[in-house]
């Protein structure tokens, strides 16, 4: 595989990730890495949502819900003490297969919890099941109905997180243990693990990006774009529109859930605000700015805006900034900031052709 034209942006991204790390190391500003790591995880959600919105053309106002499902399932499984259920057959079986780990809490009490790997897989599995169950009926809807249904789904998840004791109600879940990915690689908020975490996060983004780019440029991607253009026409060409839409929905939900799992282990906890409608709207806002059907645009805008927001640059106007961005973008540049008339000419010359 030579360096084809398509790989250049990916290589540039790798270079940029490394350069940024080296700069922060050189200028003693490695505290930026914390926000950059979190930004990376949020960007993963955005990449997934961009596949759904930009390529399959389906709006989702409930993606924070999937992020929260991932984070909450993983957090709950790795923190809730199963020692009381030790003699339960299922728990015994799990223990024997090595899916549980025995540890001690700060008071020296024995705690028995699910190991993060198993919890992560469980979280992804739960997400896939829910995404299939929700996606099948929801994706039959269009326009306003689709928007409201996904919004409703997001609110239900938020309310569940807020009202269920198992998920810590309004406080959320804290004390989530580190996630030992591989020997020597641990997802945790540990001070010393900052640099390795930065690379884990961006490695995942890169992986997600490469997967998505391949998907978009494959037969599936062309089918999705056909669906975006006109579902009826796509169906007439023999494309099973509802199946492609459903698979894309599930894939994007898994992206969001994986980001949720990782960020929860990185932060050591998760709260109900991660499931709020405002978060979902933010993801949509970022994709709108990125130009709807542009993975790179969405990634760039996601990184810039999330980083600024996490650094607290918008202060208490955080929500207002995203609201204003949404309105302004949709009024003046519905095709994204990179396709403003001024940039359009330049973009058309060496960018991907617009469908």
Partner 1 sequence: MSLQLFTQYLFSGITYGILYAIVAIGFNIIYNTTGIINFAQGEFVMLGGMCAISLHEYMPLPAAILLAVIITGIIGGLIEIIFIRWLDSPSVLRMIIITIGLSILIREAALFVWGESVRSLPYFNGDAVTSVQIFGANISPQVLWVIGVCSVIVVGLSLFFQFTYAGREMRACAANRTAATLCGINTRSKITWSFMLSAGIGAVAGCVMSPITYTQYDIGPGLAIKGFTVVILGGLGNSMAAVAAGLLLGIVESFSIIVVPMAYQEVISIAILLIVLFVRPHGLFGSSETACLQDF
Which residue ranges make up the site for partner 1 (CB under 8 A)? 59, 61, 137-138, 140-145, 147-149, 151-153, 155-156, 159-160, 162-163, 277-278, 281, 284-285, 288, 317, 319-320, 322-327, 330-331, 334
CB of residue 151 vs partner 1: minimum separation in angstroms?
7
CB of residue 115 vs partner 1: minimum separation in angstroms?
31
> Can you say how many angstroms the Cα of residue 346 is from the centroid of all Cα atoms in its chain?
31
Residue owning tokens 């890169």: 206
CB of residue 22 vs partner 1: minimum separation in angstroms?
38
Q: Which is nearer to partner 1, 153 or 255 (CB)?
A: 153
Helix (H) or strand (E) holding 323: helix 318-332
Closest CA to 270 of 131, 196, 169: 169
Q: Which is nearer to partner 1, 19 or 133 (CB)?
A: 133
CB of residue 238 vs partner 1: minimum separation in angstroms?
24
Q: Which is nearer to partner 1, 134 or 234 (CB)?
A: 134
The tokens describing 183, both together, are 């020997």
C-alpha 328/C-alpha 331 separation (Å) is 5
CB of residue 26 vs partner 1: minimum separation in angstroms?
39
CB of residue 166 vs partner 1: minimum separation in angstroms?
13
Q: Which is nearer to partner 1, 61 or 100 (CB)?
A: 61
Q: Which is nearer to partner 1, 276 or 306 (CB)?
A: 276
C-alpha 300/C-alpha 298 separation (Å) is 6
304-319 burial, b at 16+ Cβ within 10 Å, e below that, comes to: ebbbebbeeeeeeebe
Q: Which is nearer to partner 1, 141 or 304 (CB)?
A: 141
Q: Residue 96 CB: number of other CB atoms within 10 A? A: 9
The tokens describing 29, both together, are 């500003």
CA distances from 252 to 67, 243, 310 (A): 10, 14, 23
């Amino acid at each position: 595989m030579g360096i084809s034209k398509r790989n250049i942006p990916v290589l540039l991204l790798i270079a940029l990730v490394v350069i940024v790390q080296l700069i922060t190391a050189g200028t003693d500003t490695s505290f930026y890495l914390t926000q950059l790591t979190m930004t990376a995880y949020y960007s993963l959600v955005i990449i997934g949502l961009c596949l759904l919105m930009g390529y399959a053309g389906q709006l989702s106002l409930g993606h924070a819900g999937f992020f929260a499902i991932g984070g909450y399932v993983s957090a709950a499984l790795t923190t809730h003490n199963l020692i009381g259920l030790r003699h339960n057959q299922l728990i015994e079986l799990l223990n024997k297969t090595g899916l549980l780990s025995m540890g001690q809490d700060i008071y020296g009490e024995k705690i028995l919890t699910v190991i993060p790997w198993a919890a992560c897989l469980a979280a992804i599995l739960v997400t896939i099941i829910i995404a299939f169950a929700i996606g099948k009926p929801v994706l039959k809807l269009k326009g306003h109905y689709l928007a409201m249904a996904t919004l409703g789904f997001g609110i239900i998840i938020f309310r569940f997180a807020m009202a269920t004791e198992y998920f810590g109600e309004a406080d959320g879940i804290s004390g989530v243990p580190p996630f030992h990915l591989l020997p020597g690689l641990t997802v945790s908020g540990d001070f010393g693990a900052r640099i390795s975490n930065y690379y884990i996060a961006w490695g995942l983004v890169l992986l997600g990006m490469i997967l998505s780019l391949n998907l978009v440029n494959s037969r599936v991607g062309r089918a999705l774009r056909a669906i975006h253009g006109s579902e009826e026409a796509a169906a007439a060409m023999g494309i099973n529109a509802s199946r492609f839409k459903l698979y894309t929905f599930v894939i994007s939900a898994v992206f969001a859930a994986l980001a949720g799992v990782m960020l929860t282990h990185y932060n050591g906890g998760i709260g109900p605000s991660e499931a709020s409608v405002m978060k979902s709207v933010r993801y949509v806002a970022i994709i709108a700015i990125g130009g709807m059907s542009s993975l790179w645009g969405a990634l760039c805008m996601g990184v810039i805006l999330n980083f600024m927001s996490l650094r607290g640059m918008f202060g208490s106007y955080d929500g207002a900034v995203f609201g204003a961005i949404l309105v302004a973008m949709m009024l003046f540049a519905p095709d994204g900031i990179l396709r403003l008339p001024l940039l359009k000419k330049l973009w058309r010359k060496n960018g991907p052709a617009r469908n």
